[in-house]
Structure formats: C-alpha cells, structure tokens
Structure 1
Amino acid sequence: MRLCKRDDCGQRFRIHASSNKRYCSPGCRWACPKLRKLLEPSLVKHQLSDVDESARSATCSVCGPTSIRRRTTKTKHPAVEVRWRCRTAERARDWARQYGLDVATVLEMLEGQERGCAICGRDVAERFYIDHCHASGAVRGILCSNCNTALGLLGDDVERMEAAIQYLKRARAA
C-alpha cells in the first residue's frame, strides 16, 4: 500500500510491484500543485541552437548539449518548416510525472555521479535511466541500461544479487 503524494489527500492505494505510481487517482495527480509546477513547460522554454540535423544534436538553453528529434506535425506538407525538439525536455515530463523530479534536479544528480552510472561508472551522458525503489518509490540514482535491467531482472532482491555474486566467484575459481 502506498500513500497518495497529494498533500491534502492522505488516501492509501495498491500498486503493482514495478509501478512508481505516486497518486491515488488522475484527479489527485492533476490537482497536485507540485506536479503542475513541474509540468508547466511555459516557465522555461528549451531553445535550441547549433542544430546539427545529420548528427541529431544541438545545444539546449536549459539542458546544454543534447540529442534532438524531429517535431511531429499533423500535416506532411513539404513546404512546412522542420522543427526540432530537445529530447531531455520530452523525458523531463516523464520524470516529473513518475518521480517528481525536474530537469535541474536530474542534471544535478548526473553531475554528482560525474555523468556515469551509479553502479558500473560507464558514461551515461545520452542514455540513462532513473533508478527507484519499487517498494517506496524513492529515487536511488541514475543507471545505464544494462545495470538498470540487471536490477529489474533480479527483482531488487539483495539475496538474489548476493547469490549471483557467489555463483560468479565459484565459476571464476573453477
């Protein structure tokens, strides 16, 4: 059972073990002022400069060097100007909804880890994942794809991870 993150709700609700659901209902999620503040893209615009279309990279006014993607439009008219989006800005909406984090906090976490995975230390400048405890929903750090997948497949179970370590040690000694 988890407690709804909206300040004046206080309702407990059930979630799936792999879920990081923070609110008991969509009404609570959208009525929460903290989340609304995180989701307001109009406060800070992600302005792109130095756009390199072939490398799909640019410099964002908020995020710094970032990858970009073509902005989808409803019309496929060839005369329409091509517009690009900052990928970090798109992912920031997910971070706000799922973990209650804004771009500045995530980038601060990334710099605190010296732009590397919290487990293996591999550079995760472009592709990284926010790791969280599935029981409490608390954010633990930033991981690379392989480490995030490994934790998930082992079910965040310390005993299973220790058993895997012992297995590898036995195999190496043989």
Structure 2
Amino acid sequence: MDDELVYCGKCGETKPRSAFYSLQHSTAPRRPCKACLLADKRARYATQDGDRISHAQVLREKYNLTPRQYEAMLKAQQGLCAICRKPETARGRGGAPRRLAVDHDHRTGEIRKLLCQRCNLVTWAVEENPDLLDAIRYYLLSYQRGFPPR
C-alpha cells in the first residue's frame, strides 16, 4: 500500500499513497491530496493582503458566528473574560492583545461565552478530564499548607 501511486485531479499529479488522507471508515484515499487540501484551506483563510487570517472568516467557518454577533458578545461581557473577569493579556504576533476566544462545546459546537486564552486552555483541559480540576485544587492547596505532596 505504501508504494501505491494515486492521482490527484486537483493538481494533476500522481503521488504516493502517503500524500493522501484516508476516507472515513475506509482505507481508500481521500482526494484531493494533502497538499491541495492545505492550499485550499489557506486560500479560504487568506485576506486581501495575503499574510493575515481574517477574523471574520474564522468566526464564520469555525463557529458559525458573524463579526456583529462576536462584538455583541464582547459588549455584553464588557470586553472581559467570562470566567476571570479580566481583559485578555496574551499578545499576538504584532504585540497587540489577542481577542477573547470563543468558548464552545467541542462535542456539540454550542457557543458558550468569550474567554481569555488562559481560562480557555484551562476550560478545555478540564472539559476533556473533569477529575483534573480536583487534582489541581489538591495539588495547590497542599503547597499552600506547607505540605507538598510526596
């Protein structure tokens, strides 16, 4: 199977099977090839200047939200994280503060609120493993009391 060659109709090239993803519930190759899928994804997220991802496109494609809906959520939360009630402190590539993240249920896609990067990461980790929250609490409390866990 590794030496199998597969034709990609998008780029017109014949490539090794490893250059293609597999179809869900099958070993058949998913077309187009990985490189063409990546190029398409980058093109969808590219803006006019070609080097920045459009926030509106991410909102639409990932969360099915419009910029107006995002701004309404941000205004309702007074520009603060829904958990810690502080503004975002993480900085983007250009040094400007990042936008608050759209928190959503990864199973259902249901939008919850806007969170800062730190709270979003903690929420994601705890959502994946709810027992982690108790373990973190025990760990921190044990150090506050001067008795580190063994």
CA distance in 2, matches of 1:142, 1:156: 19
Q: Please list every run of at least 4 consecutive aligned residues from structure 1 whose deviation after the TM superposition is greater than 4 angstroms.
A: none
Deviations 1:11-44 (A, max 9, x none): xxx8xxxxxxxxxxxxxxxxxxxxxxxxxxxxxx
Structure holding more helix per residue: 2
CA distance in 2, matches of 1:148, 1:169: 22
Is residue 135 of structure 2 the alignment partner of residue 171 of structure 1? no
Q: Note the C-alpha offset of 1:147.
A: 1.6
Q: Note the C-alpha offset of 1:115.
A: 0.5
SS in 1 for 2:112: strand
Structure 1 unaligned segments of length 5 or more: list them. 1-13, 15-68, 74-84
CA distance in 2, matches of 1:104, 1:162: 38
Is residue 41 of structure 2 the alignment partner of residue 71 of structure 1? no
Q: Note the C-alpha offset of 1:96.
A: 1.1
Give the alignment's Cα RMSD to 1 decimal: 2.8
- Percent identity of the aligned residues? 26
2:130 aligned residue (148, 158, 162): 158
CA distance in 2, matches of 1:99, 1:156: 19
SS in 2 for 1:151: helix
CA distance in 2, matches of 1:168, 1:151: 17
CA distance in 2, matches of 1:70, 1:92: 13
CA distance in 1, matches of 2:109, 2:120: 15
1:145 aligned residue (91, 107, 117): 117
Structure 2 unaligned segments of length 5 or more: list them. 1-23, 25-46, 89-96
Structure ranking higher on relative contact order (CA contacts 8 Å, 6+ apart): 1
Amino acid at match of 1:113: Q
TM-score between the two structures when normalised by the length of structure 1: 0.45
Corresponding residue for residue 122 of structure 1: 86
Q: Note the C-alpha offset of 1:126.
A: 4.3
Which one has the largest radius of gyration?
A: 2
CA distance in 2, matches of 1:112, 1:157: 30
Is residue 63 of structure 2 the alignment partner of residue 99 of structure 1? yes
Amino acid at match of 1:71: D
CA distance in 1, matches of 2:50, 2:62: 24
Is residue 89 of structure 2 the alignment partner of residue 111 of structure 1? no
Structure holding more strand per residue: 1
